[in-house]
Amino acid sequence: MDSFDALTFGETMALFIPSAPGPMETSHELVAGIAGTESNFAVGLARLGHSVCWISRVGNDPFGKRILKTLRGESVNVDHVRAADDAPTGLMFKELRAAGSPNIFYYRRGSAASAIDVEQFRGLKSRFLFVTGITPALSESNLKATLAIVDQFRATGTTIVFDPNMRYKLWTAEKARPVFLELARKSNLLLPSLDEARILTGFKELDQMATALLKLGAERVAIKAGDQGAYFTDGSSSGLIPPFFVQQIDPIGAGDAFCAGVVSGLLDKLSFRDAVIRGCAMGAVCVTAYGDYAALPDRAELEKFLAGSSAHSR
């Protein structure tokens, strides 16, 4: 039986970014890479020295092969990924702008990853299972599979970590909310953004949202609060961790890096507060370069960043 520190599953796409900021329709060159919330999380953990397995389906095409080769090179286990002949690998295009967040364009309907199979998880053990709200948004079969996978690992004592990761291009908040609530009630650790916490609770204040999320059944909650930092609570202690000061280049992937940092801290048996600080540090480092995970640090780089960032102001 294969055993890991963490296991995650979901869609990773082939990513294409113009070589320079500006409208994509006038770009003459695209740079290829890969992108996916769950694989970003997996790379973040692997670079910090943890054993992590990512499970999905990719197309039996050049893009799927690129994804597998890239993640193997990052020391992420991909032995349980299936290559499909009947569906393609999803595509993502990121349009860089001189100011503001990038524009994202998805081509993922009917992709291989919209048919993840629970049989791919047979015989696996993990200390943590990282789940997002993206996977169940891809198809009805993925929704059923996600719930079954969570139940399977929860029954064996695995710590379930849920990041709603709302994608408005995939579904509405009204459709997502009952799914998010069901997954939240099955989870031990909740890591929503401010927007996602509002969807789940209806509240606007951080402390109110965190308290309401704990009442769903989670043992710990950390809310990614953007420029405010991150608000955490475990029922006995709570507080706001301010953000680290960095020069932001590309904000995409910061939330995934945060989640990897928090789970890494808990794997290393840090206090929840210190684990959230590690998450904030990972998120800060992530945004300092173009690409969803390009700047993610190894352990030595993370420790150096933390040692040189005694001030948390942005």
Residue 20 has a pLDDT of 82
Write the burial class of residue 109 (CB in 10 Å: 0-12 exposed, 13-18 middle, 19+ buried): exposed
Given a cut of 50, is residue 274 above it in pLDDT?
yes
In total, how many domains does the chain have? Answer: 1
Directed axis angle between helix 173-185 and helix 140-154, to 10°?
20
Please indicate, yes or no, if residue 273 is contained in any of the structural domains: yes
Phi, psi (degrees; rounded to nearest 5) at 253: 100, -10
pLDDT, tens digit (0-9, with 9 covering 90-100), for 147-187: 999 999 999 999 999 999 999 999 999 999 999 999 999 99
Is residue 233 very low, low, confident or very high in pLDDT (cuts 50, 70, 90)?
Answer: very high
Please indicate, yes or no, if residue 48 is contained in any of the structural domains: yes
Given a cut of 80, is residue 1 above it in pLDDT?
no
Please indicate, yes or no, if residue 223 is contained in any of the structural domains: yes
Please indicate, yes or no, if residue 89 is contained in any of the structural domains: no
C-alpha to C-alpha distance for 220 and 231, rounded to whole angstroms: 11
CATH code: domain of residue 135: 3.40.1190.20
Please indicate, yes or no, if residue 23 is contained in any of the structural domains: no
Torsion, CA 17, CA 23, CA 26, CA 32, rounded to 10: 0
Instruction: Show which residues are catalytic.
Output: 256
Q: How do strand 220-224 and strand 13-18 relate by DSSP bridges?
A: unpaired
Please indicate, yes or no, if residue 24 is contained in any of the structural domains: no
Residue 314 has a pLDDT of 40
Q: Which two tokens stand for residue 137?
A: 């948004």
pLDDT, tens digit (0-9, with 9 covering 90-100), for 60-104: 999 999 999 999 999 999 999 999 999 999 999 988 776 667 888
Please indicate, yes or no, if residue 313 is contained in any of the structural domains: no
Q: Which range of residues forms the domain containing residue 166?
A: 2-11+37-81+114-307
pLDDT, tens digit (0-9, with 9 covering 90-100), for 130-157: 999 999 999 999 999 999 999 999 999 9
Is residue 22 very low, low, confident or very high in pLDDT (cuts 50, 70, 90)?
Answer: confident
Q: Which two tokens stand for residue 46?
A: 């692997």
Please indicate, yes or no, if residue 156 is contained in any of the structural domains: yes
Give the pLDDT mean for 192-202.
97
- In Å, how far from its chain's centre is CA 288? 18
